[in-house]
Structure 1
Amino acid sequence: MAENASSPDPDVLLALRALSNPVRLQLLLWLREPTRHFSAERAIADPVEVGICVTHIREKANLAQSTVSAYMAELERAGLVKSTRVGKWTHYKRDEARIAQLVHTLGQTL
């Protein structure tokens, strides 16, 4: 992320836009501690290593699959989560390095 005093970094703007939605922010917070917020009993992949299935996120959030998929796609475009396919299911986990970079950049520029 470039530090430019004359114009905001487009990557930072994209991340802040993704985080401006309270539901997307909640999803990201749940993914911070996946074993605390999602049952491992029904998981088809390791929730820490691979992530949480969209189906489980949808159930917890009580939202339509299409809404959750759109929210997760927005978080992924912003670089805040990474997706992994396991069979026909998409799993998401936080991109901790990118989140740390964003926090650092915000600390340096705000």
Structure 2
Amino acid sequence: MDDMLKAPVGTTRMHILAWLREPALAETGATAEGVAARFGLPRPVALTHLRLLTAIGLLHATPLGGRVYYRCDEVRIADVARRFEKGW
């Protein structure tokens, strides 16, 4: 639980989550390469952010055609938001 609270704090991760929630990406998601290009990050840095967001349950990682696509777990995001609203 402590990892979950620490992990998403950071504007880059919050921007990644917001971007992945856009309608064009919500269904298919994006690759680490796509995230790196969108945010001007080296691929390893983008991958670190994506893996961390996946590890805490805010993203799903789906292998497809030799690549991994990341997309938001809307149920988990809503659950975390509810907990913070309740003064967790």
TM-score range, shorter chain: 0.7 to 0.9
Q: RMSD between aligned alpha carbons?
A: 1.5
Structure exhibiting the larger radius of gyration computed from Cα positions: 1
Q: How high is the sequence identity, in percent, across the aligned residues?
A: 26
**What whole-Å deviation, never above 9, does each CA across 1:4-54 have from its counterpart, x for those lacking one?**
xxxxxx1xx33332221211111111111052xxxxxxxxxxx43231122
Q: Runs of at least 4 residues of structure 1 off by over 2 A? A: 13-16, 47-50
TM-score of the two chains, using structure 1 as the length reference: 0.72
Of Structure 1 and Structure 2, which has the larger fraction of its residues in helix?
Answer: 2
**What whole-Å deviation, never above 9, does each CA across 1:63-95 have from its counterpart, x for those lacking one?**
111111111011111111111011211111000
TM-score of the two chains, using structure 2 as the length reference: 0.88
Secondary structure of 1:28's counterpart equals helix
Structure 2: state its 5+ residue gaps. Answer: none
Structure 1: state its 5+ residue gaps. Answer: 1-9, 36-46
Alignment of 1:18-57 (within 5 A): 18-35=7-24, 47-57=25-35
